[in-house]
Structure 1
């Protein structure tokens, strides 16, 4: 009886030690590759966005995604106290306005929340670009940061399009003209512009929408020509060494 109880205690201690090791492993991975977690969250949210329709449950899911992705974006840019402070000053009001607008159906608050989230994503993307440009050795985190920066820019412009559509109704048209474009349509339009694929059924109509579109096209080409090409060059140099 005593031996069985001791073996049970030993098994519990071993299980607790294994959980502690697993937790330390994930913590170390998060500290080394924070961009990987942000990139994974952004890509996983893509799988959830098709479930977000105009119903209350879909809007709640939209708010839940924002509550996860926005703090991750702040966490990635924690390169200094001032940088983190600015990021939190953008993130906290954005999350609060998103929750209030979704839960209490205050549609007027959502464009303001989208404007703050767009500013946060652009700020996070600029911070990651600065981080990649200041490093002369290509590590795995730089590669994750390159992917995360692309998604941050795509989300940032999608929120900018959302604000543009709210302020200038009829800024975008598509297969079903006369109605506002849904969030998934604007995000799809942002990805097609940033990647320069040109595939899409959303068209900018108003002048502000066209200006934003041109800015995103310029940002996409510039990002590939400067940041991504530099990472490729450093990778080739490291391989030759």
Structure 2
């Protein structure tokens, strides 16, 4: 009989598992569900920070950024496809945490903001790569892998939003709002709105890329979104249907 590795300490014989133990086991079994719900919660909560003063908004954004990175790291740690995935995530995530704190302290420093946005984008996109490796590891679709389809979508959308933030710091006035005479600097939440509308292919939002480099990255995300639906989602749907038929 082979020994199995338990994620949590076993419950003593003769005693029923406590509610906390059940919650811990559920989190261990569904890390992608935790990631997805954390991302959606941040999506609904961020507008309350966006409307406040600049200093409060940047501090709140830093707090949400660190919490989001923590959730991301836990998800990567749980579903890592290779041992290299974890240490690369740590290698990217460590500087990102420091830059997120620095961005809250110096919210008007463009150099700090640029490197923070760029490393955020790399961290999120690398996490998306890890989640896709997790979903393609075998031909059996688990419940957590179904949650992973949504989590991967949000992670890619977050990554491109940060990438757009870095783009507009290098090429100023890259994005504008429809009807606005002079292109200005868009907030991160506005760029997330652009990213999600681009990924879902629902059509152009009222935020438009007007600079050539910015349009190139928007085109790249449109291609990524199309390939994600065609390859990843279609594969999981096909495997799920085949499983129920069997």
- 2:109 aligned to which of 87, 107, 110: 107
Structure 1 residue 56 corresponds to structure 2 residue 55: yes
Question: Based on CA coordinates, which of the two structures has the bigger radius of gyration?
Answer: 1
Partner of 2:97: 95
> What stretches of structure 2 of length at least 5 have no aligned partner?
1-14
> What stretches of structure 1 of length at least 5 have no aligned partner?
1-16
- Cα deviation, 1:59-114, whole Å, max 9, x if unaligned, reads 11111111111121122222243211100111111111111111233522122111
Structure 1 residue 171 corresponds to structure 2 residue 171: no
Where do residues 180-195 of structure 1 align in structure 2 (5 Å cutoff)?
Answer: 180-195=185-200
- Cα deviation, 1:211-231, whole Å, max 9, x if unaligned, reads 101110000000000000011
Instruction: Flag the structure with higher helix content.
Output: 1
Q: Could you tell me the TM-score, scaled by structure 1's length?
A: 0.88
Partner of 1:13: none
Q: Could you tell me the TM-score, scaled by structure 2's length?
A: 0.87
Tell me the number of residue pairs that the alignment of Structure 1 and Structure 2 aligns: 224
Structure 1 residue 120 corresponds to structure 2 residue 123: yes
- 1:130 aligned to which of 129, 133, 155: 133
Say if 2:199 and 2:225, in contact at 8 Å, map to a contact too.
yes
Partner of 1:41: 38
Say if 1:35 and 1:148, in contact at 8 Å, map to a contact too.
yes
Partner of 2:240: 235
Kindly state the Cα deviation for residue 52 of structure 1 after the two structures are TM-superposed.
2.6
Structure 1 residue 146 corresponds to structure 2 residue 149: yes
Report SS of the residue matched to 1:119: helix
CA distance in structure 1 between the partners assigned to 2:43 and 2:117 by the alignment: 17
RMSD of aligned Cα (Å) = 1.6
